[in-house]
Amino acid sequence: MADAIVAVHFPRGTLPVRGGRCPLDGEEKIRAEDLARVETLAHELGLFGVENAVERKIGTTGTSASVTLPPELLARLGVKPGSSVEIGALGDALVIRKAKRRKR
C-alpha cells in the first residue's frame, strides 16, 4: 500500500485526507481516525448540506423581518432566546450560527 492523498466526497464538496492506494488495483484505504476527523470537518463546513431542514415563513416584528426557530434546532445548536448569533449569507443560503465568544 503506497501513501496517497485520497479524495473523500460529500454531497456538497470534496476534502483530501491522508490514506493509501494499492499499486495493483488502485483500491484506496483511509484510517478510521482520519475518516472521523474529515467527517467532523465536513460537518463544520456544511458539506453534508442542510440537516434537519424545516420550512418557515418570514414574518414581521415591527419594521424588521423575523423567522421563528423550532426549539429542537435551538437546543441542538446550544442557543436559547437571548443568545447571540451570527447571521449571514453563504451562496444562496441564509446561515444562522452560534456567535463565537470574543476575547477581551
DSSP 87: E
Percentage of the chain modeled with pLDDT above 70: 97
Closest alpha carbon to 35 in 73, 8, 64:
8
pLDDT at 14 over 80: yes
pLDDT-derived band at 39 (thresholds 50, 70, 90) equals very high
88 to 31, 49, 85, 99: CA distances (angstroms): 35, 16, 10, 12
Mean pLDDT of 23-46: 92
Q: Does domain 59-98 have CATH number 2.60.120?
A: no
Q: Residues, the chain, total?
A: 104
What confidence tens digit (pLDDT) does each residue in 52-75 have? 788 999 999 999 999 999 998 888
The predicted structure's pLDDT at residue 29: 94
Q: Please, where in the chain does CATH 2.10.260 lie? A: 59-98
CB of 94 closer than 8 Å to CB of 65: no
3-state secondary structure of 6: strand
pLDDT at 97 over 90: no
